[in-house]
Structure 1
Amino acid sequence: MHKSDIATLLALGAALLFAVGDVIQQRSAHDVTDEQVGHVALFLRLLRDKKWWLGSLVAAGGFVLQAAALGFGSVLLVQALLVTSLLFALPLSARFAGRRITRSQWVWAVLLAIAVAVVVTVGNPSKGQARAGFEPWMWVIATLGPLLALCLLGARVFAGKPVAAVLLGLVAGSLWGLFAVLTKGVVDQLDEGILALLKTPELYPWAVVAVSATALQQSAFRAGSMAVSLPAVTVSEPVVGSILGLAILGEMLRPGRSGWVGLGLVVVVMVVAIVELARGEATSGEPAPASG
């Protein structure tokens, strides 16, 4: 079996586990308290919630499969396939809520599946290097850092309004995209032994980013319904991960001279389908946001 095929299977398995974990965690974030709490306080309360830990353990399995997939394939390939987590979350969420999936949701689900297949096949993403040097990471910090800080500031200014959930979702999704790139660097050092792994520069920011992304994603889930938070997370993660894969890891899309326009249109369809699926999933039976 070709390495890209193995990466595809592992990424799809990760998408399934992420979907299950997200559905469980989102409900826990709303049920854990009726009080209005900050990001850290909410995260600390969730750490005492058994249902949230169940979702976290399932998601941890997804991270293991994602890391394995990144060992075999490019960030572009893996991140594109992880978008399919919404296709798994749709029937799971519907089953837990005791409702049926609408015809519109099925249409958007099919379009998303087709769009992902086109990106993976027509885009023909190539695998670049596993790690980036110091200078590219400085550029990432200098550009991405201020943008995420502004989103956090905006979420604080608009606390209690739907825009706060969007902004927190953008930060969480962006951090998960960054996490994917750091994961590829960490996985690259696993064969070198524990000592080499502990000396890997990516290891420690990788851990910090994982904890930060988890805490902010729970805050995004709680700040509003999944109609506003989930699209922001699901869209920003592959976008940021793919941009970083192209910019600092040297990965490439190879659609051919005539394929770029079609690939651009397919990406637009993918983003619209993600937003519509998340909105449909949320408005059909997700818990309402908690009041302060």
Structure 2
Amino acid sequence: MANVEFATLLALGAALLAGVGYVTLQRSAQQVTDEEVGHFTLFHLSLRHALWWLGSLAALGSFGLQAVALTMGSVVLVQSLQATALLFALPIDARMAHHRCTAREWMWAVLLAGAVAVIVLAGDPTAGHARAPLSDWAVVAIVIVPAVLLCVVGARVWSGPAAAVLLALASSAALAVFTVLTKGVVAELAHGFTAMFRTPEFYGWMLVLPIGLMLQQSSLRAGSLTASLPTITVARPVIASVLGITVLDEVIHSGEGQLFTLAVAVAVVVVATVALARDEAAMMAAPVGDLNVPGQLAVS
């Protein structure tokens, strides 16, 4: 139990750093250039931007805390708690951008994070294996690679919040795979660097990380934080949790009453995410003078 509690604290610390990282990376993505550029060009330009490096350091710290947490708890537990990054990111973004978070945004953000917490508590996830056979990862690649490509193509067809959401889904899938691979990489690292370099997970781990970061940066540039971040904070834990259960044989203990609670919590997660994205789309379409409406909460 002590390990699970410590893993929970580390996961929350990772969520805080992730929130800081998301806000900083989003500002970098918006500032790095005024021209319409592709994913590779944006990533290349970001490498020359100091703000991107600051955000990346926060993200690296988040990944590090998650890696340690994964040695003590399940992927489902650690990743589900990453949804709380939204609660950290919204006030930080509001302070840095000198704008107000609406009461609706706070309501949906709290419901979103709360629903994810319920999923963790009701499911009571336990850890499975650290590694999986290559045949299982081949199946994962067959499913995820086309899905990521479809999201990237869709983001070229649509723009604004829709593109941000699609790119967020693509980046979340890549980074979810990275997270699950991390468990195997860290397990082998315990036997030394030589053992880690011999494991296939290490090379897959190194491949998907830059892809995920590149697509995440494009997602953050395509819209404001309330368009991309809700999708990132939900999709990545969900995909990672599914992989943890199906690939690493993690177990969710759910009785009949717990299944109903989990179903309601999942429904709240979906509704809250869609609502935040729609609010962002409405805000982008509204005249500037209509944005300062009653019912907003000032973040000071």
TM-score, normalised to structure 2's length? Answer: 0.88
> What SS does the corresponding residue of 1:250 show, helix, strand or coil?
coil
Is 1:86 aligned to residue 86 of structure 2?
yes
**Counterparts of 1:279 and 1:93 in 2: how far apart (Å)?**
18
Residue 7 of structure 1 corresponds to: 7
Match of 1:212? 211
Question: Would the aligned equivalents of 1:14 and 1:62 in 2 still touch at CA under 8 Å?
Answer: yes
* Alpha-carbon distance in structure 1 between the residues aligned to 2:254 and 2:129: 20
SS class of match (1:202): helix
Aligned 8 A contact 1:80 1:116 in 2? yes
Structure 1 residues 1-292: aligned runs within 5 Å: 2-156=2-156, 158=157, 160=159, 162-277=161-276
> Residue deviations 1:95-154, cap 9 Å, x none?
112234333233334323432332222110111111110111111111111221222222
1:252 shift after superposition: 1.4
The answer as to whether partners of 2:15 and 2:85 remain within 8 angstroms in 1 is yes
Count of residue pairs the alignment pairs up? 284
Deviation larger for 186-195 or 100-109: 100-109
The CA distance in 1 between the partners of 2:9 and 2:282, in whole Å, is 31
Letter in 1 for 2:83: V
Provide the residue aligned with 1:289 in structure 2.
none
Cα deviation per residue 1:146-203 (whole Å; 9 max; x = unaligned)?
A: 22122222223x1645433222111001111111101111111121001001111111
Name the CA shift for 1:234/1:279 in 2 (closer, same or farther; >3 Å): farther
Structure 1 portions without partners, runs of 5+ = 286-292
Cα offset for 1:279?
Answer: 5.9
Equivalent position of 1:290 in the other structure: none
Distance 1:279 1:162 in 2: 8
Measured in 2, the distance between the counterparts of 1:3 and 1:198 equals 27
- Residues 227 and 283, structure 1, Cα contact 8 Å, conserved in 2: no
**Closer/same/farther in 2, CA of residues 186 and 263 from structure 1, 3 Å limit:** same
Q: Note if contact 1:226-1:278 (Cα within 8 Å) is conserved in structure 2.
A: no
Residues 202-247 of structure 1, C-alpha deviation per residue, up to 9 Å, x if partnerless? Answer: 1111111111100111111122333433233222211211111111
SS for the counterpart of 1:140 is helix
Take 1:282 and 1:44, find their aligned partners in 2: how far apart are those partners?
28
Q: Distance in 1 between matches of 2:139 and 2:182?
A: 19
Q: How has the CA–CA distance of structure 1 residues 153 and 70 changed in structure 2, closer, same or farther, with 3 Å as cutoff? A: same
CA contact (8 A) 2:77 2:125 kept: yes
TM-score normalized with structure 1 length? 0.90
- Inter-CA distance 130–139: structure 2 relative to 1 (3 Å threshold): same
Q: Secondary structure at the match of 1:25?
A: helix
Deviates more, 1:112-121 or 1:270-279: 270-279
